[in-house]
């Protein structure tokens, strides 16, 4: 393993600023702002700040405050943050982000979980491992198809063993929740417990499964309605990510519009999210050129992911933080739906926060993680 520090070439940043300033935008859409996608006025303001008001070097320095490494796992270079407990002997916990996010979304959790006592959080301190998913940011993606939840879960098990941890916990959101789930399905003996802040893997509901409850029927109906209005991005990313990637890799305005629309749609209070985090997120995708490789997660998990069968069950103790105030599909998920797949031992409805909980409500998420593992 090699220590890693982010150091983006100045020529890359100068080219980015030039491209932003020469963006050709379509103009505002008719109707309510955001009703047909990213709002024109918001995007123009964001691009102006990105080109002339945002200091990447400051953000780069903030990111480099965290100890980072890169290592090769099965021939693929993987980037990760490793933050040890302040008092030593922390509970090893690997946390993984989803799309369209980066490892930076999870960094607000680091001080809260490595030194919870200093932040009035009850529970153990943690040794945190925060990897970038394959094809995101500074992690490579294998030059093949079939990089699924299961494939990444096996890599994460190997990463934790190479770091010297025999038993450890796992958690995350979005694709990260899927990877953590397959870590529990692949090698449950290694896992102390599992903590999720979004659902990702659908349970088996085929023949011989128990009938759906009324709450589950309502959830399935609301999910269908959400798919009808919000799922266009997934349709293209799971079928033709390469075609979409040409535009997003060439145009910073297009990249920002694509990412920001999802952060707004899936968050509880978009206006409260730190704009520097949003700027850092889109910049990380831009300077590493990884938006297309990140979107391949949708393609690979659609075409190469094996659905669960009747016997698949996560027997590892599982905690779920239910961040309901959002426009994504997990907002009204019933506990019984997740209990089809997980041994739910902690279920915490949250008063605020959405899909990007680590960025929106880090204190609530950290307290729930610490409380869950403290009770085990």
Among residues 289, 286, 292, the alpha carbon closest in space to that of 13 is found at 286
CA separation for the pair 280, 278 (Å, rounded):
5
> 228-237 in b/e burial notation, b at 16+ Cβ within 10 A?
eebeebeeeb
Helix (H, G, I), strand (E, B), or coil: what is residue 13? helix
Residue 70: what are its φ and ψ, rounded to 5°? -130, 140
Catalytic residue among 168, 182, 298, 342: 298
Catalytic residue among 127, 174, 300, 329: 174
CA separation for the pair 317, 18 (Å, rounded):
51
CA separation for the pair 60, 241 (Å, rounded):
28
> 302-333 in b/e burial notation, b at 16+ Cβ within 10 A?
eeebeebeeeebbebbbbbbbbeebbbbbbeb
Helix (H, G, I), strand (E, B), or coil: what is residue 228? helix
Q: Where are the alpha helices (DSSP H) in the chain?
A: 10-21, 40-52, 56-63, 109-114, 149-162, 175-186, 214-230, 232-237, 241-250, 252-266, 275-288, 291-303, 335-339, 357-360, 362-375
Catalytic residue among 79, 151, 355, 368: 355
Active site residue 127: no
Active site residue 298: yes
CA distances from 150 to 63, 164, 258, 299 (A): 29, 22, 27, 14
Half-sphere exposure of 166 (CA within 13 A, CB side): 0
Helix (H, G, I), strand (E, B), or coil: what is residue 79? strand
Q: Are strands 191-196 and 126-131 parallel, antiparallel or unpaired?
A: unpaired
Active site residue 355: yes
Q: What is the dihedral of CA 106, 376, 169, 84, to 10 degrees?
A: 60
Catalytic residues: 174, 298, 355
């Amino acid at each position: 393993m090699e220590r890693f520090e982010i150091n983006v070439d100045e020529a890359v940043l100068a080219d980015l600023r030039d491209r932003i300033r020469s963006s050709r935008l379509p103009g505002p859409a008719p109707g309510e702002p955001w009703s047909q996608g990213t709002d024109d006025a918001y995007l123009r303001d964001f691009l102006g700040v990105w080109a002339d008001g945002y200091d990447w070097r400051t953000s780069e320095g903030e990111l480099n405050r965290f100890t980072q490494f890169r290592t090769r796992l099965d021939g693929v270079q993987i980037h990760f943050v490793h933050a040890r407990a302040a008092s030593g002997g922390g509970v090893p916990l690997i946390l993984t982000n989803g799309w369209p996010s980066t490892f930076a979304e999870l960094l607000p959790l680091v001080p809260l979980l490595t030194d919870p006592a200093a932040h009035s959080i009850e529970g153990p301190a943690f040794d945190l491992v925060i990897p970038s998913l394959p094809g995101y940011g500074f992690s490579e993606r294998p030059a093949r198809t079939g990089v699924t939840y299961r494939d990444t879960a096996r890599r994460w098990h190997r990463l934790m063993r190479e770091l010297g941890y025999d038993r450890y916990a796992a958690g995350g959101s979005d694709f990260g929740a899927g990877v953590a789930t397959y870590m529990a399905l692949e090698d449950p003996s290694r896992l102390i417990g599992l903590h999720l802040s979004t659902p990702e893997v659908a349970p088996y509901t085929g023949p011989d499964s128990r009938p759906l409850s009324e709450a589950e029927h309502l959830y399935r109906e609301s999910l269908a309605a959400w798919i009808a209005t919000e799922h266009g991005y997934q349709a293209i990313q799971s079928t033709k990510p390469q075609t979409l990637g040409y535009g997003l890799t060439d145009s910073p305005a297009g990249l920002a519009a694509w990412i920001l629309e999802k952060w707004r749609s899936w968050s509880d209070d978009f206006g409260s999210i730190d704009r520097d985090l949003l700027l850092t997120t889109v910049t990380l995708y831009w300077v590493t050129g990884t938006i297309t490789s990140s979107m391949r997660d949708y393609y690979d998990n659609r075409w190469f992911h094996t659905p669960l069968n009747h016997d698949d069950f996560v027997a590892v103790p599982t905690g779920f933080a239910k961040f309901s105030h959002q426009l994504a599909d997990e907002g009204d998920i019933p506990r019984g739906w997740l209990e089809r797949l997980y041994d739910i031992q902690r279920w915490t409805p949250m008063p605020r926060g959405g899909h990007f909980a680590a960025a929106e409500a880090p204190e609530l998420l950290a307290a729930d993680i610490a409380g869950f593992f403290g009770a085990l």
